[in-house]
Amino acid sequence: MEDFPFSILFGTLAFLIIVSGFFSGSETGLMSLNRYRLKHLADQNRKGAKRAQRLLSRPERLIGVILLGNNFVNILAASIASVIGFHFYGETGVMIASISLTVVILIFSEVTPKTLAALNPERFALPASYVLEPLLKILYPIVWLTNLAANGIFRLLGLSKAQVSQYDMSAEELRIIVNEAGTVIPQRHQQMLLNLLDLEKVTVEDIMVPRNEITGIDIDDDWEKISKDLRTSQHTKLPVYQGDIDQIIGFLHLRKAIQIFKDPETANKDTMRAMIREPYFVPAGTPLNTQLLNFQREKRRIGLIVDEYGDILGLITLEDLLEEIVGEFTTDPSATSKDIHIQEDGSYVIDGSASVRELNRILEWDLPTEGPKTINGLIIEYLEHIPDQGTSLLIADYPMEIVQTTNNTVKTVKIDADWKEKLKKDTD
The reply to whether 306 and 376 lie within a common domain is no
Does residue 247 fall inside a structural domain?
yes
- Sign of the CA dihedral running 106, 111, 116, 118: positive
d(CA 293, CA 290): 5
Q: Do β-strands 392-395 and 398-405 pair in parallel, antiparallel, or remain unpaired?
A: antiparallel
* Domain count within the chain: 4
List the Cα angle 269/272/274 in 5-degree steps. 115
pLDDT digits (tens, 9 = 90+) for 231-264: 888 888 999 999 889 899 999 998 888 888 777 7
d(CA 169, CA 165): 10
Contacts of 373 (CB under 8 A, 6+ apart): 205, 206, 355, 356, 357
Q: Within a 10 A sphere around the Cβ of 205, how many other Cβ atoms?
A: 18
Choose among 332, 325, 337, 419: nearest CA to 375.
337
The reply to whether 287 and 352 lie within a common domain is no
d(CA 304, CA 298): 14
pLDDT at 158 exceeding the cut of 60: yes
Distances (CA, A) of 412 to 127, 305, 409: 68, 26, 9
Q: Indicate the pTM of the whole model.
A: 0.59
Helix (H) or strand (E) holding 210: strand 209-210
d(CA 408, CA 294): 36
Share of residues in the chain with pLDDT > 70 (%): 90
Domain boundary among 286, 304, 324: 324
The reply to whether 145 and 190 lie within a common domain is no
The reply to whether 38 and 182 lie within a common domain is no
pLDDT digits (tens, 9 = 90+) for 75-109: 998 888 888 888 777 778 888 888 888 898 899 88
Average pLDDT across the chain, whole number: 83
Between helices 121-138 and 6-32, what is the axis angle to 10°?
110
The reply to whether 315 and 342 lie within a common domain is no
d(CA 106, CA 112): 8
Does residue 190 fall inside a structural domain?
yes
The reply to whether 279 and 420 lie within a common domain is no
Whichever domain contains 317, its CATH number is 3.10.580.10
Does residue 1 fall inside a structural domain?
no
d(CA 369, CA 367): 6
d(CA 325, CA 361): 10
Distances (CA, A) of 420 to 302, 348, 395, 417: 41, 15, 14, 8
**Of the given ranges (175-184, 186-195, 370-379), which has the lowest mean pLDDT?**
175-184
Domain range for 348 is 333-427
Domain boundary among 110, 134, 163: 163
The reply to whether 212 and 252 lie within a common domain is yes
d(CA 6, CA 79): 14
The reply to whether 89 and 63 lie within a common domain is yes
Average pLDDT over residues 132-140: 88
d(CA 352, CA 363): 16
Phi, psi of 48 (to 5 degrees): -60, -40
Contacts of 341 (CB under 8 A, 6+ apart): 334, 348, 349, 350
- Sign of the CA dihedral running 41, 45, 46, 47: positive
Exposure letters 7-18 (e unless 16+ CB within 10 A, then b): eeeeeebeebbe
Q: Within a 10 A sphere around the Cβ of 398, how many other Cβ atoms?
A: 17
Contact 38, 108 (CB under 8 A): no
Q: How confident is the model at residue 144, as a pLDDT?
A: 86
The reply to whether 406 and 299 lie within a common domain is no
pLDDT digits (tens, 9 = 90+) for 314-353: 999 998 898 888 876 555 454 456 788 888 888 889 998 8
DSSP state at residue 163: G
